[in-house]
Structure 1
Amino acid sequence: MRLGIDWGGTKIEIIALDDDGRELHRERVATPRDDYAGCIEAVAGLVEQAEASTGQTGTVGFGIPGSISPATGLVKNANSTWMNGKPLDKDLEKRLGRPVRIQNDANCLAVSEATDGAAAGCHFVHAIIIGTGCGSGIAIDGKALRGANGIAGEWGAIPVPWLKPEEFPGPSNWLGHPGAIDHWCSGTGFQADYRSRGGTALKGHEIMELKRAGDPLAAATYEAYASRLARAMAMAANLMDPDCFVLGGGMSNVDELYEDLPKLMAPYIMSDHYEVPIRKAKHGDSSGVRGAAWLWG
């Protein structure tokens, strides 16, 4: 049995999978925010419940909104900031009494979809989360690509390429970098751009409903968003040339993107022919936690 845990800023979720990927158990609890020790205990409780429910002992994989630094062995770049600077893997291994495997949550999305999801059978998968934030992960032959310094797939920190004059320099992201992908290509950035154009505070699906009804402000916001995401993905295509892109997060439910992105990417692709599928994550919100379980593949 494989246990996967998705440790997010608002909830911690566990799933138990058998060898065929069949779900045996699932549970979630609220994340004890700003309480590192409390989070460790919440995880231990979830593992105990899962194993009591199934009558089995499992391997444990974690998806976290950051990564373990190979230089220090401590968590870095986590937007759940209370885990930064902590030896998370060692603390979890001590509390659970077994080895654990930890990857960035976007890498877990990539692993999940490459294993038995929308990109099953693809050699090189670039998975992109377009939700509250915007990050990406890479799976090669179903295994997460961590990189020499644990930052492979940190695509969101890069500015949107081929900026238009009216876009420069762009709003700052959480690190203070202007025009970054993780702001402009996120669902949060989509909503913020709509407000900056004079719109009210609406959720992404509400803006899309207005766009479909012919509202010009919503349409202009969507067109700008799709263009920026397409340019960012074209850069990834030129750099890595993956076999498949997979989109997850709330904005992945915007069906128009799957028709519009290939056309919008085309002018920026350095090839006379480019045809790579862009697919919605098959497992949706479950992809991260499933991918954490599949870290023990």
Structure 2
Amino acid sequence: MKLWGIDLGGTKIECAVLDSNNNLEVVVRMRIATESAKGYEHILSQIKKLIDLVAEQVGERPAKIGFATPGVLEPDSQLMKNSNTICLNGKPMKKDLEEILGIPVQLANDANCFALAETLIGAGKDYPRAEVVFGVIMGTGVGGGLVVNNKIIGGHHGIGGEWGHNILEENGDSCYCGKAGCVEQVIAGPALERHYEKISGVKLSLKEILEEYHSGKNEFATATIERLLEFYGRAISTLINVLDPGLIVIGGGVGNIDLLYTAGYDKIKKYIFNKGVVTTPIVKPKLGDSAGVFGAALL
């Protein structure tokens, strides 16, 4: 049996077909441009075009298909919300896709798909006893996905795992969600760059800030990275206090910072409700940028 998945991004759409009879070996992977500026209907036509191209290569059409989407399908209204590809918001995307493709469709937020793939075929394979796995995305934004007993927990409002929009810093920077000082506005990549520029008057990329930090000669870089580690420890401790997962997997560009797994891990001890003892495995992902599309196929 072949498992079909689509990862719908703002700039590209990727399709992967996995062979469930052969250790989930990748049969085909293909990408085309999303061209989201052309609107919702065009995105749907691009999805159909990609599936037609892949079906030609595979020699068969999908019987059903999973989608990793920016944003989420609201359970009650069945309309998309919280998507940074704005033209998707308010649209009955599942219904429209099923009409266009003529097959059952399953949608899940891209962070949930990341968490599911890492649980089942990625980092989670090294921690088979982990019943609760939390997948963190720390990059341009901050998101998350929650998997319990190998099943995505979407939640009552469809926002299960959305830890990026809890207030982390009182009177912090305003967030598009309507609050201020959200996790995303403190420890996402752009937030770190913005903080460095605010205290130094100089604009640097996160990569450059890290290089300056490791040189030991830039007080502003030191302050920026130490601030990241402190707030990271506080934010992750809240996840652990509420969910106590058996594994946390951290994806996204900021997640590549090695300090998060050493000095950042130590910061969690200050805030955890466990007398300063932390044994939660916190690891980097194993699937790279394949996690979203593999997770979609595994839906």
Tell me the TM-score normalized by structure 2: 0.93
What's 1:18 paired with?
A: 19
Q: Indicate conservation of the 8 Å contact 1:16/1:24, yes or no.
A: yes
Residues in 1 aligned to 2:199 and 2:27: alpha-carbon distance in whole angstroms: 47
User: Which residue of structure 2 lines up, in the alignment, with residue 229 of structure 1?
Assistant: 232
Partner of 1:5: 6
Unaligned runs of 5+ in 2: none
Q: 2-side partners of 1:32 and 1:68: how far apart?
A: 21
Matched to 1:13, the amino acid is E
Q: 2:157 is matched with which residue: 130, 138, 149?
A: 149
1:14 alignment partner AA: C
Partner secondary structure for residue 221 of structure 2: helix
Which one-letter code corresponds to 1:229 in the other structure? Y
* Structure 1, unpaired ranges of 5+: none
TM-aligned CA deviation for residue 216 of structure 1:
2.2
Are residues 1:38 and 2:39 paired? no
- In structure 2, relative to structure 1, the CA distance for the partners of 1:16 and 1:202 (3 Å cut) is farther
* Mapped partners of 1:265, 1:102: distance in 2: 33
* C-alpha distance in 1 between matches for 2:137 and 2:14: 18
Deviation at 1:241, TM superposition (A): 0.5
| Deviation larger for 195-204 or 205-214 | 195-204
Query: Structure 1 residue aligned with 2:219, among 216, 220, 224?
Result: 216
- Offset of residue 67 of structure 1: 0.9
Cα deviation for residue 202 of structure 1 reads 2.5
Q: Secondary structure at the match of 1:179?
A: coil
Aligned twin of 2:58: 54
- Measured after TM superposition, the shift of residue 30 of structure 1 is 2.0
SS in 1 for 2:229: helix
- Shift of residue 199 of structure 1? 4.8
- Spell out the pairing of 1:83-162 with structure 2 (5 A cutoff): 83-120=88-125, 121=128, 122-160=130-168
What is the match of residue 188 of structure 2? 186
- Please tell me the residue identity of whatever aligns with 1:78: S
Q: Is the 8 A contact 1:114 1:141 kept in 2?
A: no
Q: Given the superposition, is the C-alpha separation of residues 21 and 187 from structure 1 closer, same or farther in structure 2, using an over 3 Å criterion?
A: farther
- Find 1:80's aligned residue among 82, 85, 96: 85
CA distance in 2, matches of 1:204, 1:22: 36
Query: What is the aligned residue count?
Result: 289
Counterpart of 1:283 in structure 2 is 287
Residue 238 (1) aligns with residue 246 (2): no
- Tell me how far 1:44 sits from its aligned partner: 0.8
* The 10-residue stretch of structure 1 (4-13 or 195-204) with the greater mean CA deviation from structure 2: 195-204
Q: Are the equivalent residues in 1 in contact too, given 2:132–2:147 (CA < 8 A)?
A: yes
CA RMSD, Structure 1 to Structure 2 (Å): 1.4
Q: What is the CA distance between 1:176 and its match in structure 2? A: 3.1
1:57 Cα deviation after fit: 3.0
In structure 2, the partner of 1:262 is 265
Contact 1:60/1:100, CA 8 A, preserved across alignment:
yes
Partner amino acid, structure 1, of 2:186: W
Determine the C-alpha separation between the residues in 2 that align with 1:203 and 1:21: 38
SS of equivalent residue, structure 2 residue 36: coil
Identity %: 37
Report the equivalent of 1:197.
199
1:251 aligns with 2:269: no
Give the Cα separation in 1 of the matches to 2:265 and 2:213: 20
- Worse overlay, 179-188 or 202-211: 202-211
Distance 1:29 1:216 in 2: 44
Whether the aligned pair in 1 keeps the contact of 2:117 and 2:298 (CA below 8 Å) is: yes
TM-fit CA distance, 1:234: 0.4
